[in-house]
Chains A and B, each alone.
Chain A
Amino acid sequence: MAYFEQPQRILLPVNVGYMTLTVVLALLFNLMPWHDLVGVPDMVALVLACWCVHQPRKMGIGIAWFVGLVMDAGNGTLLGQHAFAYAFLAFGVITLHRRILWFSQWRQAAHVLVLLLLTQALMLGVRLAAGGIFPGPMYFAGSLTAAALWPTVTFLLLLPQRRPESVDENRPL
């Protein structure tokens, strides 16, 4: 079947420290001064989504909610806005994670794109309800970039788990 990925490699167990590190790095990325640049991806949402697909028992709605709170406090937005949207994102991804994993990378990215757009739409709705202004359709461009980065980010996040179990001289990595 052309829809499905090639035989999958059995991965090593995930390192929780590495998961934490990636989330912190994503927060760093999001807190960088991007000014009014259009299409900057929401890296935190992307990394959270990726871990929710691959490690739904270690990454969940609660962690996504807390990371959202940090985003709100760091950016001075309405407290709870990102937490609200990320909780929904984590729920959506965890509900769909068995389905998503059947598809090839780019088809997975299409699934994630829809979820990221919904997340942004939720945030937009919250802010409009709280009396914000509509920032224009280019606001959604960030999700497109994020979805385009999905295969790369998945590869990077799963890289430590692709190590061989034992190192030998002929195969140092």
Chain B
Amino acid sequence: MDYQPPPFFSRGPAPLVRLGFFVSLAVLLMVLDGRFRYAESIREVIALLAYPLQRAALAPGELLGATADFFTTQVALKQENDQLKAKDLVAASDLLTLQALRAENAQLRRLLEARERVPRRSTLAEILYQGRDPFSRKVIIDKGGQQGIEPGQAVIDDIGVVGQVTRVHPLLAEVTLVTDKEQRTPVEVVRNGLRAVIYGGGDKGTLDLSYTAANADVQADDLIVTSGIDGVYPPGLPVCKVTKIERDPAYSFAKITCIPAAGTDQNRQVLVLTREAGLPPPPAEAEPLVVAPKQKRPKKRE
């Protein structure tokens, strides 16, 4: 005879058993997400569930902003209007020269029989909020897969490069800022065309020009722009400015610190650029080594 407690005392599995179960599930998810990126579909479903919550959480801030806008004084508006008019005047003269230059450039390109650059389409998006994650630098924008945003697209503002779209939900997208530790951007130095790859500095909001030789020709206040080699970023967009250079003879690389040109932490409106059309797909990594000898054999027989 075994005595069972009556069912109203039953509490299910012991807490330790439950803990073990859920912790192993969580660890499994983390490994799938962090190492293999297999958990994207699960994330999308939960993100869709959380979407109304996210929008609702933004409502108080937006309401506050709208109220503040309503009470903006006329003086401030007048000042801003004057400033904008002055800016417009400068821009108009620039625009005139730009048109002339564009025509000239097109003609030169035709002369060189160079392929005409297809102007990229761009989508205006608004930064909703900065992810509540102190370990990385990401922002969430209000355009997603339904508006044609795709992972890998470049994100810029009116000054320069902000970052790159790294994850797309149906209605939102995540942008990793150039200052994130995991983010790399192919760049060149404007002054001498030196190519390099720039790494995000992480928490400090800076960037590091890593793996450039200790004797490389980089000076303080050098402007660094995108090189456009990858096809993700258009060439010539400002990325950052060199602020500090440490050349230590003990290391073969110089430590070069830069501050971002674009307002990576300030602006609300950003542009998402589509990738350049007509680029060949990136080469597969290991295949040519295997394929090459097989192709050679029949040639020898002929």
Residues of A whose CB lies within 8 Å of any CB of B are 24, 27-36, 40, 57, 60-62, 65, 68-70, 72-81, 83-84, 87-88, 91, 94-95, 126-127, 130-136, 139
Shortest beta-carbon distance, A119 to chain B, in Å?
13
A126 to B16, alpha carbons, bound, how many Å? 21
In the bound complex, do residue A75 and residue B132 qualify as a contact, i.e. CB atoms below 8 Å apart?
yes
Shortest beta-carbon distance, A13 to chain B, in Å?
15
Shortest beta-carbon distance, B63 to chain A, in Å?
12
Q: Which residues of A contact B56 (CB under 8 A)?
A: 28
Shortest beta-carbon distance, A169 to chain B, in Å?
38
**Size class of B's contact patch?**
35 or more
Q: Which residues of B contact A77 (CB under 8 A)?
A: 131, 133, 135-136
Nearest to B132 among chain A residues (CB) is A75
Interface centre among B49, B50, B181 (most CB of A within 10 A): B50
Nearest to A87 among chain B residues (CB) is B22
Interface residue B43 (Cβ < 8 Å from any Cβ of A):
yes
Q: List 14 A-B contacts (CB under 8 A).
A: A32-B61, A33-B128, A65-B22, A70-B53, A74-B47, A75-B131, A76-B131, A77-B133, A79-B42, A83-B26, A84-B26, A130-B34, A132-B181, A133-B202
A40 to B129, alpha carbons, bound, how many Å? 15
In the bound complex, do residue B27 and residue A75 qualify as a contact, i.e. CB atoms below 8 Å apart?
no
Interface residue B247 (Cβ < 8 Å from any Cβ of A):
no
Interface residue B220 (Cβ < 8 Å from any Cβ of A):
no
- Apart from A32-B57, A76-B167, A80-B30: 12 A-B pairs, beta carbons within 8 A: A31-B50, A33-B57, A33-B130, A40-B132, A69-B46, A74-B54, A76-B131, A76-B140, A79-B32, A79-B43, A84-B27, A135-B134
Shortest beta-carbon distance, A7 to chain B, in Å?
28
Closest 9 CB pairs of A and B: A132-B135, A80-B29, A33-B129, A135-B134, A84-B26, A73-B46, A80-B30, A31-B57, A79-B33
Residues of B whose CB lies within 8 Å of any CB of A are 11, 15-16, 18-19, 22-23, 25-30, 32-34, 39, 42-43, 46-47, 49-50, 53-54, 56-58, 60-61, 128-136, 138, 140, 167, 174, 181-182, 202-203
A88 to B56, alpha carbons, bound, how many Å? 29
- Cβ-neighbour of B60 out of A32, A60, A83 (below 8 A): A32
Q: Which residues of A contact B54 (CB under 8 A)?
A: 31, 74
In the bound complex, do residue B46 and residue A70 qualify as a contact, i.e. CB atoms below 8 Å apart?
yes
In the bound complex, do residue A75 and residue B26 qualify as a contact, i.e. CB atoms below 8 Å apart?
no
In the bound complex, do residue A126 and residue B30 qualify as a contact, i.e. CB atoms below 8 Å apart?
yes
- Cβ-neighbour of B15 out of A80, A81, A94 (below 8 A): A94
